[in-house]
Every structure is written in C-alpha cells, then in structure tokens.
C-alpha cells in the first residue's frame, strides 16, 4: 500500500495504482475533470500510465460556479 | 455579431456563474440574459456541486474557464493548464489578483502570466485594470481581448473612470470587454456607449433580488448601449436647442 495526499486528505492506494484507477474509485461526473500530481498537470492521455507514488500530492478538480 | 478569437456571438453579454443561489436560479438567469458565453472556475472536486457542466451543456453556452483566486503568474498558468484539460478549451479568462481587499489585477504578474500562456497556445482574455497603457501592452502581446475592470469585482460601483475605458477603446484594436463593477443596467449600457464590445458581469445578476429580471435588464441594456454607440450621440451643449421650430408660432397679443 502507498499513501497519497488526495485533495489534502491522506488516502491509501494499492502500490503502483495509476491516476486512471484512482479516478475509477471516486464517484465523478463524466466530464470536466483535471488532475494534478505534485502541482503538475497530468494530461488525460497519460492517466492510464501515470503510476502514483507514496507521498504524492494528488488534486482532482472540476467546474465550480465562478467569475 | 460580436467576434472574439474567431468565434461569433450574437449576444454581447458574458455571464459569470458565481454567486447564484442555486443551479435552477442560474439556469433561469442564463436563459433570460441571452448569453452565449459563461465563465466557470476550477475547484477541488469535493468542494463543488455537481451538475454545473451538465446545465451549461444543455443550455448550449460556450464555457470560458477562469483563473479566479490566483495571486501569482505561476498559479494562474497552472490553473489555466488544468482548465484546458478539464474543459477541452484553449480559452482562458486570466485573472491574477494582487490584493484580497480590492481583488484588482496585479499588473506585473498578469503580464507575466499572459506571456507564458500565449507561448503555450492559449487564447488569453485578461482581466486588467482600467490603465490604457497596460491594456495596450496586453493587446500587443497577442491577447484576444482586454477586460478592464469598471470597479472592484462584486462592488456594484459601476464604471469608476469612464474616460479611461474610452482611452482603452482607442488604444487597442482587439475587443474590449468591460469586466467587474457593474451594479445595474445603466452601468452596462454606459460601458457599451463608451465603445466596449461586450460586458462581463456576474454578481449584479446572481445576487440581485430577482436575478432573472436583472438578467433580462442587462440583456436589453447591453443591446441599447451598443445601438446608441453605433447611432452616434448628439454633442452636449450648455443651452437649449429648440426641437420645435418657432416658424408659424402664433403670437397672442
């Protein structure tokens, strides 16, 4: 197991879990999602191959009323 | 037709989605406003109400993501890149604020962020101050429009310095979109009369006592102001110019 900081809260993941696998575990709307790992954008095309590491900071964002 | 970065819009009103009491209230306001372009912010998934994107897709309005809440160029650039991933658009309403109290733009960070985002292929629509020189610098960099503040965001103070808005209109050839400060319909009409191509507002509608009615008022105000600007106003004069001829006037003795 590894522990990542998901939206500021610790979360246990399987070792080698990818961004795509994490997103599958979450209940998410079908569109309008962006992911940053350690402050860097992970492109949609890389979600399936980007494996998370222990201690990673993962932020998952979507649309919010604003502007 | 209002042309922005190669896209055509029949509405010259851009609506922000912030401040609406519910998605239903927002939907009614968007419909009444006739807008075709609305802004959205990017926030953590667990802090957001789901359904906003579905609503906007159903209403067939174009999304304009913003970088609201960013204080540095680095934060704004990161947010813009995330927004591009999330919403599959290169358009970004660039906001880099310098001060929590006024939420006015930080000119230095704004120019830095705009430059980086343009290099990165974004269509940049910067929220800027009412400084004509700064607006020209942003336009010269290649921004698709400039969005000067009429007054601080959400203040409802209207257009503090109409003369500067007019000077901005003269200083740049790209669209000028009055952003922030609008309180009521006459403020939006004035922006258009000053030569702005469009008006962006949120709070004036979403926090009005009757948001749907105010959205309709803004729609008409923007149209009226644009028509008036096109029509050419009469010069101001100190004394009356009779609109009725004295010719044939009966003199009763």
CA-CA distance, B38 to B228, in Å (whole number)? 25
Predicted pLDDT at B151 = 97
Tell which wins on pLDDT, A7 or A29.
A7
Predicted pLDDT at B192 = 98
Identified catalytic residue from B93, B103, B219, B226: B93
- Whether the per-residue pLDDT at A64 is higher than 90: the answer is no
Tens-digit pLDDT profile for residues B177-219: 999 999 999 999 999 999 999 999 999 999 999 999 999 999 9
Question: Does the beta carbon of B26 lie under 8 angstroms from any beta carbon of chain A?
Answer: yes
Predicted pLDDT at A34 = 94
Predicted pLDDT at B90 = 97
A contacts of B93 (beta carbons < 8 Å)? 67
Predicted pLDDT at B246 = 86
Phi, psi of B195 (to 5 degrees): 105, 5
Contact B20 A65 (CB under 8 A): yes
What's the whole-number mean pLDDT along residues B227-238?
95
In this complex, the residue of B17, B48, B86 whose CB is nearest that of residue A34 is B86
CA-CA distance, A50 to A23, in Å (whole number)? 12
Over its C-alpha atoms, chain B yields an Rg (Å, rounded) of: 20
Lowest mean pLDDT of A16-25, B71-80, B92-101, B165-174, name the range: A16-25
Predicted pLDDT at B245 = 87
Lowest mean pLDDT of A24-33, B223-232, B243-252, name the range: A24-33
Domains of chain B, with CATH numbers? Answer: 2-231 (3.20.20.70)
- Whether the per-residue pLDDT at A36 is higher than 90: the answer is yes
What's the whole-number mean pLDDT along residues B172-181?
97
Predicted pLDDT at B242 = 86
Inter-residue contact B29 to B206 (CB < 8 Å) = yes
What's the whole-number mean pLDDT along residues A16-36?
86
What's the whole-number mean pLDDT along residues B119-129?
98
Select the residue from A7, A35, A57, A63 to test the B interface by mutation, using most B Cβ atoms within 10 A: A63
Give the Å distances, CA to CA, from A34 to A66, B69, B83, B122, B239.
Answer: 17, 17, 7, 17, 62
Predicted pLDDT at B19 = 87
Phi, psi of A54 (to 5 degrees): -55, 130
Query: How does the average pLDDT of chain B come out, rounded?
Result: 95
A contacts of B203 (beta carbons < 8 Å)? none
Confidence of residue B45 (pLDDT cuts 50, 70, 90): confident
Give percent of chain B above pLDDT 90. 88
- Whether the per-residue pLDDT at B166 is higher than 80: the answer is yes
Tens-digit pLDDT profile for residues B49-93: 778 888 999 999 999 999 999 999 999 999 999 999 999 999 999
Inter-residue contact B179 to B66 (CB < 8 Å) = no
Predicted pLDDT at B106 = 97
Domains of chain A, with CATH numbers? Answer: 2-61 (3.10.20.30)
DSSP state of B176: B
A contacts of B82 (beta carbons < 8 Å)? 34, 36, 41, 61
Predicted pLDDT at B50 = 77
Tens-digit pLDDT profile for residues B89-117: 999 999 999 999 999 999 999 999 999 99
Predicted pLDDT at A30 = 63
Give percent of chain B above pLDDT 70. 99
Q: What residues have CB less than 8 Å from B147, skipping those under 6 apart? A: B93, B125, B126, B127, B128, B176, B177, B178, B179, B200
């Amino acid at each position: 197991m590894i522990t990542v900081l998901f939206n500021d809260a610790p979360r246990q993941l399987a070792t080698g879990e990818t961004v795509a696998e994490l997103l599958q575990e979450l209940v998410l709307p079908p569109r309008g999602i962006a992911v940053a790992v350690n402050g860097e954008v992970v492109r949609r095309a890389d979600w399936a191959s980007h494996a998370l590491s222990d201690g990673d900071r993962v932020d998952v964002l979507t649309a919010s009323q604003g502007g | 037709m209002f042309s922005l970065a190669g896209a055509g819009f029949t509405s010259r009103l851009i609506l922000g989605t912030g401040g609406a009491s519910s998605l239903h209230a927002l939907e009614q306001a968007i419909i009444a406003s006739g807008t075709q372009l609305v802004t959205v912010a990017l926030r953590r998934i667990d802090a957001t109400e789901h359904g906003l994107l579905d609503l906007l897709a159903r209403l067939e309005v174009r999304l304009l993501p913003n970088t609201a809440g960013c204080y540095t160029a680095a934060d704004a650039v990161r947010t813009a890149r995330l927004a591009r991933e999330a919403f599959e658009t290169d358009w970004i309403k660039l906001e880099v604020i310098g001060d929590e109290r006024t939420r006015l733009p930080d000119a230095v960070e704004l120019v830095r962020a705009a430059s980086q985002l343009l290099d990165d292929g974004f269509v940049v629509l910067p929220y800027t101050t009412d400084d004509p020189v700064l607006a020209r610098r942003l336009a010269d960099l290649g921004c698709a429009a400039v969005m000067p503040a009429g007054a601080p965001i959400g203040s409802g103070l209207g257009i503090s310095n109409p003369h500067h808005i007019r000077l901005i209109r003269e200083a740049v050839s790209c669209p000028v979109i009055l952003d922030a400060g609008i309180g009521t319909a006459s403020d939006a009409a004035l922006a258009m009369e000053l030569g702005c191509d469009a008006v962006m507002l949120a709070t004036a509608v979403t926090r009005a006592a009757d948001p749907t009615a105010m959205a309709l008022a803004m729609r008409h105000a923007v149209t009226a102001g644009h028509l008036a600007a096109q029509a050419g106003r009469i010069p101001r004069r100190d004394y009356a110019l009779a609109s009725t001829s004295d010719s044939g006037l009966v003199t009763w003795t």
